[in-house]
Chains A and B, each alone.
Chain A
């Protein structure tokens, strides 16, 4: 399964401690998806597309997916 990095626009809230809480993701075509919840934040390698980044395990529409942040840029791994 071939995948590519899709860089996305993310709306996030930054709390008093400096922690980042992503709230929504806007896809390349302009569709916006609200993030239901973030269950885990950890550094992880993006195994399908390569590289290492901060990985947010998120739920969108009841389905779990990963959102990555690497040096200020956000991306998701998408099937080609």
Chain B
């Protein structure tokens, strides 16, 4: 049986919610921007009126204001955006139990089994659009198709409060003339590489052989070919179905540029603390560490390596992150933002192959220290124990509204 999947995308989500909360903003050029003080001063979302003035997501607020002097910039209210996301899900639940969210503002719904109850696809999409307008005061774009990739593409093509349907009969006319970057999973770098091979449209991609694409782009090449040909068969997850966590990361834009390894170490240590806490909550261990560095010219660098042993320790993760940083960063420019990710996760206490180097013993000792610190904090509060070196740290923004307490740094040798 042919599947019917819809992809719903709240239009200019954050900005629309702000306008819904404050009707005086309706019809004006409004943007949601991060805190300028904490150097998060970029545009996160904008209304169509701001878009018409040339304001783009991701640009600095001062750049946006230069293009659109009347632009009203409001601070984000993520707690409210989460609430709207939850309410949106409640609307989808009226029609199906297969709801797979993608971020706060988008979701796939498989409505194949709902048509007998609700009549037609159009009935369902009309009701969803109406519910969003009446109940939440915002609009959605909906894509309808027989696979997730084309459903998502449909919602990208649809205007505010519109529905675009991509079928097996029309996809060659609708999808194939589009730029190759329209397809989900084809980012800026992949698109540039595809352009280099003369692949400019989705149709060009679809007509290449999957073997050749696999050879050039690895397993992802084959995926892209399937996506372009409408052959994606991935299922829409059930509502509430836990998705396998692939990585746990935490990143921050610093209040001032970092200028040496010592400052970088302190930020890594602060970030690794949050990563370690999440790992423990998820009962997972990292077998790899990845870092992302953004310099003050906004160039990005990402690199990763394996850990010696599976770990949850903030100290071990931060140490690995610094090692990676030292190996890969040349300090041509100061550092603006850092991210640390625990990758290649496995369940905690998975048996490991011991070695003769004594690494395991060292790791066990670190684990005991971490557990002790954790229990001290549980008993005496978050501020009971934290790293001495972070008492004077001024450049990492407070992550929980106050300085995050961190595990004791102990020289293991």
A residues sitting closer than 8 Å to B (CB atoms) are 42-45, 47-52
Contact = CB atoms under 8 A, between A and B. Distances in A.
A50 B22 CA distance: 5
A5 to B, nearest CB: 11
A52 B84 CA distance: 9
B134 A45 contact: yes
B87 A45 contact: no
Given A44-B135, A45-B135, A50-B21, 7 more contacts: A43-B87, A43-B135, A47-B23, A47-B137, A49-B23, A50-B20, A52-B20
B21 to A, nearest CB: 5
Interface string B375-399: 0000000000000000000000000
Contacts of A42: 135
Contacts of B20: 45, 50-52
Contacts of B137: 45, 47, 50, 52
Contacts of B292: none
Contacts of B84: 52
B374 interface: no
B136 interface: yes
Contacts of B22: 50
Contacts of B136: 45, 52
Kindly list the 10 A-B residue pairs having the minimum CB-CB distance in the complex, ordered from nearest. Answer: A45-B137, A43-B135, A50-B21, A50-B23, A50-B22, A52-B136, A51-B21, A44-B135, A45-B136, A44-B134
11 contacts: A42-B135, A44-B134, A45-B20, A45-B137, A47-B23, A48-B23, A51-B20, A52-B20, A52-B87, A52-B135, A52-B137
Interface residues on B, range: 10 to 19
A60 B87 CA distance: 30
B117 to A, nearest CB: 20
A79 B200 CA distance: 56
B102 to A, nearest CB: 22
Nearest to B23: A50
Contacts of B87: 43, 52
A53 B285 CA distance: 42
Contacts of A44: 134-135
A1 to B, nearest CB: 11
Contacts of B135: 42-45, 52
Contacts of A50: 20-23, 137
Interface in B131-149: 134-137
Nearest to B18: A50
Interface string B11-39: 00000000011110000000000000000
A51 B17 CA distance: 8
Residue of A42, A43, A48, A49 with most chain B CB atoms under a 10 A cut-off: A43
Nearest to A2: B24
Contacts of A48: 23
A46 to B, nearest CB: 8
A17 to B, nearest CB: 19
Nearest to B132: A45
B392 to A, nearest CB: 41
A50 to B, nearest CB: 5
Interface string B21-65: 111000000000000000000000000000000000000000000
Residue of A42, A44, A45, A47 with most chain B CB atoms under a 10 A cut-off: A45
A48 B21 CA distance: 10
Nearest to A49: B23
A73 to B, nearest CB: 14
Nearest to B19: A50
A45 B23 CA distance: 11
Residue of B21, B23, B87 with most chain A CB atoms under a 10 A cut-off: B23
Contacts of B21: 50-51
Nearest to A48: B23
Contacts of A49: 23
A28 B134 CA distance: 28
Interface in B87-109: 87
Nearest to A54: B135
A49 B26 CA distance: 12
A47 B26 CA distance: 11
B138 to A, nearest CB: 8
Nearest to B25: A50
Nearest to B80: A51
Residue of A44, A47, A49, A52 with most chain B CB atoms under a 10 A cut-off: A52
A67 B22 CA distance: 19
A60 B22 CA distance: 27
B376 to A, nearest CB: 36
